[in-house]
């Protein structure tokens, strides 16, 4: 077998392996996909009518929200406030994504919707009030909803990793998140 044939065969094997890997990766349930699970203390039970007000707090942020449910539709408005450690320790909000999850009676995610994205590399000193307004039709069997988020703050505008330092620029970044679990505990 000549070198060209060996290279061609190796490339084919690599491509087939990559395709198999991609198929399995797409089949794996993520924490934002239907079937994920939300802990009971993070669930917000739906009540007819409204407005109903509340506050959801984690170590990274808080969301003061108000919702109304009518005829299988849900309108949720909210204001997001970052925990004090983020603006005190970092200068830039690289990004922040807020999601709402519609839940069944056992806390399983039926559907997920992105409700807020705070853009690319915003200086925290100049960050305006972060608010959102979401209107959605409720999936069948929805009895509660929950919030989740993922974000990154950095010192100097960039970086990556949980806490990382980009050695070429000296930038430090902090990834923060709270998302549903991939599956309920057994």
Which own/partner pairs from 108-113 qualify as long-range (CB within 8 Å, at least 24 positions apart)?
108/34, 108/35, 108/36, 108/37, 108/38, 108/184, 109/32, 109/33, 109/34, 109/35, 109/36, 109/37, 109/38, 109/180, 110/34, 110/139, 110/140, 110/141, 110/142, 111/34, 111/139, 112/32, 112/33, 112/34
Question: Is residue 18's pLDDT more than 60?
Answer: no
Q: What is the mean pLDDT of residues 40-62?
A: 94
Distance, CA of 60 to CA of 117 (rounded, Å): 16
**β pairing state of 73-82 and 92-103:** unpaired
Closest CA to 60 of 153, 134, 122, 131: 153
For residue 72, what are its two tokens? 């299988």
- Residue-level pLDDT at 74: 94
The CATH code of the domain at 40-178 is 2.70.50
pLDDT in tens, 164-183: 444 445 578 999 999 998 77
Q: What one-character DSSP code corresponds to residue 139? A: P
- Residue-level pLDDT at 182: 77
Neighbours of 98 (CB within 10 A): 22
């Amino acid at each position: 077998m000549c070198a060209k044939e060996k290279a061609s065969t190796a490339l084919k094997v690599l491509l087939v392996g990559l395709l198999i890997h991609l198929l399995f990766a797409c089949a794996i349930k993520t924490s934002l996909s239907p079937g994920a699970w939300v802990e009971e203390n993070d669930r917000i039970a739906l009540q007819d009518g409204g407005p109903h007000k509340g506050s959801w707090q984690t170590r990274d942020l808080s969301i003061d929200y108000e919702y109304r449910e009518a005829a299988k539709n849900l309108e949720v408005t909210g204001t997001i406030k970052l925990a004090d450690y983020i603006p005190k320790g970092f200068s830039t909000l690289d990004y922040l994504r807020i999601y709402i999850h519609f839940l069944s009676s056992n806390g399983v995610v039926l559907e997920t919707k992105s409700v807020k994205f705070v853009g690319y590399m915003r200086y925290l000193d100049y960050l305006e009030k972060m608010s959102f307004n979401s209107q959605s039709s409720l999936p069948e069997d929805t009895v509660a909803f929950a919030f989740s988020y993922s974000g990154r703050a950095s010192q100097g505008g960039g970086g990556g990793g949980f806490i990382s330092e980009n050695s070429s620029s000296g930038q430090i970044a902090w990834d923060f998140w709270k998302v549903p679990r991939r599956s309920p505990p057994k």
